[in-house]
Structure 1
Amino acid sequence: MNDFLEKQRSPWQSLLLLICYTFAFSIGLQLLALMIGELTNSNTQQFLSSADDNTILGGSRFFMYALLAIGTFGTFYLPSVVLQKREPYNDYFLTKTVPYNFYILAIAFLIAFAPLMALIGEWNANMTFPESLKGIENWMRIQEDASNDLIKKIVMVDHMTLLFMNLIVLAVFPAVAEEYYFRGSLMNIFQRIFNNMHVTIWVTAIIFSAIHVQFFGFVPRVLLGAFFGYMLYWTNNIWVPILGHFVNNASVTILAYYYTTQGKTFEDLQSYDSYSIFVYLGSFILTALIAVIFYKKSKSINNNGEGLD
């Protein structure tokens, strides 16, 4: 038993190993994606410049799907799964059985918070920097615009086949892979470092948002990451935040499809609806109520004494 304990890695060693796996698998599989691009004579610029590739699964769109899927698989899923294989004594992917109503509450929470999330997103998107930092702001907006050009080309489709592919590549894959990586591996490692679950959840959420490199949606994504973190903390079941993550991504994907079929633009999709103060107040109260119910139900099944704690 002592020999087994001595072989267990420290959290810093686990973190270093996870980072090494991330770079190794991400770079290796991205090279594979580039090889696919060469074989299909496709690349990102060709995809962006194609005029009619939003209605058929053409070569350049197939390349983009492969690039996104391989990137998600290599950057997030494989490193976390291999780390779990190498460290079987750490339970990175908690799957304690919980009542189905936790899944319902997770979805209800996202729906209730949607108006407030939109308000926060609008504030974040319209933020401006002091004059001394205008150079940084301009660079960030250029990066954001470039990212939006790619996202617009992918999500604004009017064909059911492409909607299905978008749901797989943009909702299913990221929900599983990113939750395994951030709420699974990274939260476990940080909890061993900080020994404070609230610090762990928020630090993980900040990294989760930063790694997406979308500066003018940074704050809403931090909040989403924190929500997913608390869902895991309160249930010790990683499939609860996975479902929440999927619902969040899938709703945007489906809404983009609907907007396209109605002749609306990506800019329309990105615009924020303004509500009365009563809607925002109701959103806050309902969100808080659902969070309290979620927390109390988690205490009732005694989940907080296990797993991440």
Structure 2
Amino acid sequence: MGYLRQYSPFMQLITFFGLWFAFMLLYSLFLAGFFPAISGGYTIAQMEDTKVWADPSFVRGLKIVQLLYTLVSFMVPALVFAYLAHPRPAVYMGLSARPKYLQLALAILVILCALPLVNVLGEWNSTWPVSKQMRDLEELATKQTKLLLNMPDIGSMLFNLLLLALLPAIAEEVFFRGVLQRVLTPMVKNGWVAAIIAAVIFSAIHMQFLGFMPRLLLGFLMGAIYFVTGNLWLAIAGHFVNNGLQVVLVYLYQAKVISYDATQDEHVPAVYGALSALVAGILIWRLYMKAREAGQTFELPAEPGDEEEENEENKQDHSNI
């Protein structure tokens, strides 16, 4: 394929958002028509009625909705675009090369070491002035998330790792980093700026204003990991660890194994946030140096007519795995 390679980055961006809008529309139409069938007869309007949340049929429907949202809204449009944009979509998105173990460890450490700063930003973000209606909507979304995180046994925990950690990590990284950030980079002619813009869009699309800043930081860190290595698997791993850690901690708390409740915000001193930023920055630099030593860098897709040169570069990339 690769039909979209003949168009400018701006037109590619418009095409990508057009695909996203089209699949969002399909998802919305499906939800409106079939939600009663998958939730035991409840309607979309009843999703905000906490009285029906105790019904297992409703919770099952809510989980199906979450699954479809992840796949149809993010993964499918990104994969379709990559297929139309490049003869080898996996190469285009940075999924063709297996990450080295040290790089994988560094990428995970970047996310883990940044969590104190994430908490500091979250605490500050929660003080932003917003309307009562918006705050009520965000509280409702938080309650729905806690409903999904109700895990009475290890089987439900493993299922939530798939539903709330692994699938979102793959789908959202393919969408926001593998395609959006890659399309933005030649437009703004700066990979760091592209990572910031993609992170802003990543946070905004989640429609949770009181969590905007911590999600923006996490989006930027995953964009930075992708930019300095050119390997999307590393960003996916960091994303999965961040989401999966929350799922596991909530399960352990519900099972009374630990006393720490990951769903409750705790105060983190600003100095810890500053130290967290410093350590995360050093780790990103080390990740960049290791990627350079391995000959792995973020490369823009070859232009039409550059197929031979691109083939040689891909052979070199695979020789460094």
1:297 to 256, 268, 290: 290
How far, CA to CA, are the matches of 2:109 and 2:151 in structure 1? 27
How far, CA to CA, are the matches of 1:112 and 1:32 in structure 2? 40
What's the counterpart of residue 59 of structure 1?
57
Q: C-alpha deviations, 1:62-109, integer Å up to 9, x for none? A: 211111111111111111111112222575311334421111111111
How far, CA to CA, are the matches of 1:305 and 1:66 in structure 2? 36
TM-score by length of 1: 0.84
What's the counterpart of residue 22 of structure 1?
20
How far, CA to CA, are the matches of 1:179 and 1:222 in structure 2? 14
What's the counterpart of residue 35 of structure 2?
37
What's the counterpart of residue 174 of structure 1?
168
Q: How many Å apart are 1:159 and its aligned residue?
A: 2.6
Residue 120 of structure 2 contacts residue 270 of structure 2 at CA under 8 Å; is this kept in 1? no
Gaps of 5+ in 1: 130-135
Report the secondary structure of 1:92's partner residue.
Answer: helix
How far, CA to CA, are the matches of 2:180 and 2:270 in structure 1? 39
Change beyond 3 A, Cα 1:265–1:14: farther
Q: C-alpha deviations, 1:197-246, integer Å up to 9, x for none? A: 11101000000001111111111111111111111111111111011111
Change beyond 3 A, Cα 1:263–1:233: closer
Alignment-mate amino acid for residue 160 of structure 1:
I
What's the counterpart of residue 114 of structure 1?
115
How far, CA to CA, are the matches of 1:5 and 1:85 in structure 2? 9
Structure 1 vs Structure 2 CA RMSD: 2.9
Report the secondary structure of 2:141's partner residue.
Answer: helix
Task: Write out aligned runs for 1:216-235 (5 A).
Answer: 216-235=210-229
Residue 36 of structure 1 contacts residue 63 of structure 1 at CA under 8 Å; is this kept in 2? no
How far, CA to CA, are the matches of 1:179 and 1:93 in structure 2? 10
Residue 151 of structure 2 contacts residue 251 of structure 2 at CA under 8 Å; is this kept in 1? yes
Q: Give the paired residue count.
A: 294
Residue 104 of structure 2 contacts residue 234 of structure 2 at CA under 8 Å; is this kept in 1? yes
Q: How many Å apart are 1:269 and its aligned residue?
A: 2.1
Q: How many Å apart are 1:8 and its aligned residue?
A: 1.2
Q: How many Å apart are 1:275 and its aligned residue?
A: 5.2
What's the counterpart of residue 287 of structure 1?
280
Q: How many Å apart are 1:280 and its aligned residue?
A: 4.7
Q: C-alpha deviations, 1:102-126, integer Å up to 9, x for none? A: 1111111122222222122111112
2:209 to 209, 212, 215: 215
Alignment-mate amino acid for residue 122 of structure 2:
G
Change beyond 3 A, Cα 1:82–1:280: closer
204-213 vs 191-200, which deviates more? 191-200
Alignment-mate amino acid for residue 63 of structure 2:
Y
Report the secondary structure of 1:269's partner residue.
Answer: coil
Report the secondary structure of 2:131's partner residue.
Answer: helix
Alignment-mate amino acid for residue 178 of structure 1:
E
What's the counterpart of residue 93 of structure 2?
93
**Percent identity (aligned):** 27
Change beyond 3 A, Cα 1:43–1:268: farther
Change beyond 3 A, Cα 1:22–1:304: same
Q: How many Å apart are 1:295 and its aligned residue?
A: 1.9
Change beyond 3 A, Cα 1:33–1:264: farther
How far, CA to CA, are the matches of 1:67 and 1:283 in structure 2? 36
